[in-house]
């Protein structure tokens, strides 16, 4: 390998593995010593000024979460403590790849972020309208997003970049089928589901841990746009989804969602047939059925878009006692990356912005920094421990220990992983009309890329479902048997 082709870090040192984060064992959490990962995340968060790198275009509203079922056997979180309890929320919807001025009605995953202003601090559930994602290792996130953004030479979105990355990253296939299917283009924010996507953890008063996935199901019904409808709306009303949400709430037609969880006992993770911490996988409902938790309603529009929607800062690291993280590699990286992005974009004191401020008083030792507009804790001590009545830790809210094992190393996240079965199952769940639209969308999207990339991608579709591959090949004018062989 020549020096010109050798990947290095910013200091010029060669990189041995750019595919896998360093973890404690094959399923263990990401290690902070993985400086290559931290460098990539920190640099990526600073690539755009001043809009968000991803999820730049969005709309938001205030509302209420109300508990409708008792799940205290699983979580001690105060937000779930009593049936009927209400917690104020702020929700932001967004597109992922588009810039701030882009059209709403384009094919793209949608962000679905909920900030719960609980009586034990803010809890942020930062998800999407799909239960899975394109990648499972955070080291590839920057590369993935770059492939979905704009070509460095032309400044335009480029299908070849997208399919080149997807065809070289088979773990993306499950999400690709979601994206190119009907739900990749929702009719409105009100007519789509939300998902926490990651695996999180619950623990109860007895210190028992459970793994959990969140599902937020629309009560307005799932409605989607066709490719042609989306293109027409983009030309006529670029802010269509933003306008729809605002108008509905102004008219008193408050959108609602039912919140569910899937619960997995901690011990099940050791033997379950898929890695329960893999963001490219779902847990079949037959194994872990949906359990109703509560109702989410949006009923008040912001008074100022910039102050409340643009400056809203969501972060998966905003967790409260009874709700925790998991060894999900992508989630582990997001715990650091989102807060880091906010400090860069909004300043180190972004949590003092009203939309981000908890409804309970915060007691920290954070001091100074740009835009410190409160009393900066006055003469109170700025160190801990101290002898002057400063805030102290509360051991009663400690999370139970997480059992992990394994040697630190960069483990190949693709080795022994089935990236095709669930994508094929998703296709086979679709109606005949949905399958037709999926095939048409895929053929139209991949049809403009070089044939060698089409031929590289086709076997991935074939491994998921031979019929899907055959229909795509026919649309592209390729011989599926020759390609697969």
pLDDT along the chain (485 residues), means of 10: 74 85 92 86 77 90 98 97 98 94 95 96 96 97 96 96 98 98 97 98 97 98 97 97 98 98 97 97 98 98 95 95 96 95 92 94 89 90 91 90 90 95 98 98 98 98 98 97 91
Determine which one of 20, 45, 55, 413 is catalytic: 55
- Beta-strand pair 58-67/291-300: antiparallel
Active site residue 55: yes
Q: What pLDDT, on the 0 to 100 scale, is given for residue 243?
A: 98
Q: What angle, 0 to 180 degrees and rounded to 10, lies between the N-to-C axes of helices 451-464 and 159-167?
A: 50
Residue 108 makes CB contacts below 8 A (sequence gap 6+) with 95, 96, 97, 98, 179, 184
**128 catalytically annotated:** yes
**What distance in Å separates the CA atoms of residue 135 and residue 138, rounded to the nearest whole number?**
8
Whats the size of the chain, residue-wise? 485
384 CB-near residues (< 8 Å, 6+ apart) = 365, 390, 391, 392
Q: Partners of 473 in the beta sheet?
A: none
What helix, strand, coil percent values describe the chain, rounded to 5?
A: 35, 20, 50
**Tokens describing residue 156:** 């335009």
Q: How many CA atoms lie within 13 A of 461 on its CB side?
A: 26
d(CA 443, CA 458): 11
Closest residue by Cα to residue 457 from 133, 146, 176: 176
Whose tokens are 């002057």? That residue is 388
Structure tokens at 59: 């709309």
- The domains of the chain, with CATH numbers, are 51-133+186-359 (2.40.180.10)
In order of 224, 227, 245, the CA distances from 236 in angstroms are 18, 14, 17
Q: Which of 20, 45, 122, 128 is catalytic?
A: 128
Q: How far apart are CA 113 and CA 96, in angstroms?
A: 12
pTM here is: 0.92
Cβ contact 257:64 at 8 Å: no
**Secondary structure element (H or E) that encloses residue 457, with its range:** helix 451-464
Q: State the first-to-last Cα distance of the chain, in angstroms, to the nearest integer.
A: 31
- Token readout for 138 is 């955070």
C-beta separation of 315 from 339 below 8 A = yes
3-state secondary structure of 337: helix
């Amino acid at each position: 390998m020549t020096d010109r082709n050798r990947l290095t870090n910013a200091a010029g040192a060669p990189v041995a593995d750019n595919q896998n984060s360093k973890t404690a064992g094959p399923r263990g959490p990401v290690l902070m010593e993985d400086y290559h990962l931290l460098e990539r995340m920190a640099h990526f968060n600073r690539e755009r000024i001043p809009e968000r790198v991803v999820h730049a275009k969005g709309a938001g509203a205030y509302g209420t979460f109300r508990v409708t079922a008792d799940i205290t056997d699983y979580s001690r979180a105060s937000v779930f403590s009593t049936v009927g309890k209400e917690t104020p929320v702020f929700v932001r919807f967004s597109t992922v790849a588009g810039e701030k001025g882009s059209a709403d009605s384009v094919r793209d995953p949608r962000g679905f972020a909920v900030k719960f202003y609980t009586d034990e601090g803010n809890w942020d559930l930062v998800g999407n309208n799909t239960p899975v994602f394109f990648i499972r290792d955070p080291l590839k996130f920057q590369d993935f997003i770059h492939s979905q953004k704009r070509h460095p030479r032309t400044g335009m979105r480029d299908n070849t970049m997208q399919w080149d990355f997807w065809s070289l990253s088979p773990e993306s296939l499950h999400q690709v089928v979601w994206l190119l299917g009907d739900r990749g283009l929702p009719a409105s924010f009100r007519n789509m589901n939300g998902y926490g996507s990651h695996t999180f953890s619950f623990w109860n008063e007895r210190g028992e841990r459970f793994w959990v996935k969140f599902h937020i199901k629309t009560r307005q019904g799932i409605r989607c746009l066709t490719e042609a409808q989306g293109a027409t709306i983009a030309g006529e009303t670029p802010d269509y989804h933003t306008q729809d949400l605002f108008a509905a709430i102004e008219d008193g037609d408050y959108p609602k969602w039912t919140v569910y969880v899937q619960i997995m006992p901690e011990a099940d993770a050791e033997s379950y047939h898929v890695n329960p911490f893999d963001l490219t996988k779902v847990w079949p409902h037959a194994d872990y059925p949906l359990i109703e938790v509560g109702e989410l309603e949006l009923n008040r529009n912001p008074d100022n878009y910039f102050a409340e929607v643009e400056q809203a800062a969501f972060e998966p690291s905003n967790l409260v006692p009874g709700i925790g993280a998991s060894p999900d590699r992508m989630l582990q990286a997001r715990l650091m990356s989102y807060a880091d992005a906010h400090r860069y974009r909004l300043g180190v004191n972004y949590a003092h912005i009203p939309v981000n401020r908890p409804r309970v008083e915060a007691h920290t030792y954070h001091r100074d920094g740009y835009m410190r507009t409160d009393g900066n804790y006055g003469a109170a001590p700025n160190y801990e421990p101290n002898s002057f009545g400063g805030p102290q830790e509360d051991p009663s809210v400690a999370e139970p220990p997480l059992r992990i094992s394994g040697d630190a190393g960069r483990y190949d996240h693709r080795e022994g992983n089935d990236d095709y079965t669930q994508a094929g199952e998703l296709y086979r769940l679709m109606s005949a009309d949905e399958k037709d639209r999926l095939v048409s969308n895929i053929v139209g999207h991949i049809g403009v890329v070089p044939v060698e990339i089409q031929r590289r991608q086709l076997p991935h579709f074939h491994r998921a479902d031979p019929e899907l591959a055959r229909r795509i090949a026919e649309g592209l004018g390729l011989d599926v048997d020759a390609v697969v062989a």
